[in-house]
Amino acid sequence: MKTIFDETVRIQLIDRIETLNKNSVALWGKMNVYQMLKHCRVYEEMMLGKNKYQRVFLGRLFGKMALKEFTQDDSPIKQKTPTLSQLKIKEKSGDIESERKKWIALLNEYANPQEHEIVHSFFGKLNQEQVGQLVYKHTDHHLRQFNA
């Protein structure tokens, strides 16, 4: 399975991120390109253990089952998969270039992963392998959303 910890995969994702600009339009969903970039940055901060969020109730009930489905193969995340409320970006505009640079810097941190416990607000506790797979899938999902 593809993982963010694989240097080749990480470089390919970053190359795709570099193609995004103010004119990038979503093929599905409600986010504009700025909101998506910031959403992905905030997501990386959670997955790197920089921000912690409370588990959502539905995640406590179904998180482990959903995690198994998300990490069973390389299939992409489905279109219109709901966004966790903690990761929704309300402001509609901002500095696209700055958000892109911050996101790329966070993705580059996976080149030298630190051992720390990650508790995803929906899936719960994650091991390093699950982190690598989910970060890849989440990044790929949003890049496909913007045809990148």
pLDDT of residue 117: 78
Looking at mean pLDDT, say which of 24-33, 63-72, 107-116 comes out highest: 24-33
Distance of CA 123 to the CA centre of its chain: 13
pLDDT of residue 114: 80
∠ Cα 99 143 48 (to 5°): 55
Mean pLDDT (the chain) is: 94
pLDDT of residue 32: 97
One-letter amino acid of 84: L
Beta-carbon count within 10 A of 93 CB = 9
Percent of the chain surpassing pLDDT 70: 100
Structure tokens, 74: 């390389």
Helix, coil or strand: residue 119: strand
pLDDT of residue 91: 95
Q: Could you report how far apart the first and last alpha carbons of the chain are, in Å?
A: 21
∠ Cα 88 90 96 (to 5°): 90
Distance CA 45, CA 117 (A): 13
Structure letter (DSSP) for residue 26: -
Are 121 and 46 in contact by the 8 Å Cβ rule? The answer is yes
- This prediction's pTM: 0.94
104/74: higher pLDDT: 104
**φ, ψ dihedrals at 90, nearest 5°:** -80, -45
| Closest to 77 (Cα-Cα) out of 25, 122, 14 | 122
pLDDT digits (tens, 9 = 90+) for 48-96: 999 888 888 888 899 899 999 989 999 999 998 888 888 999 999 999 9
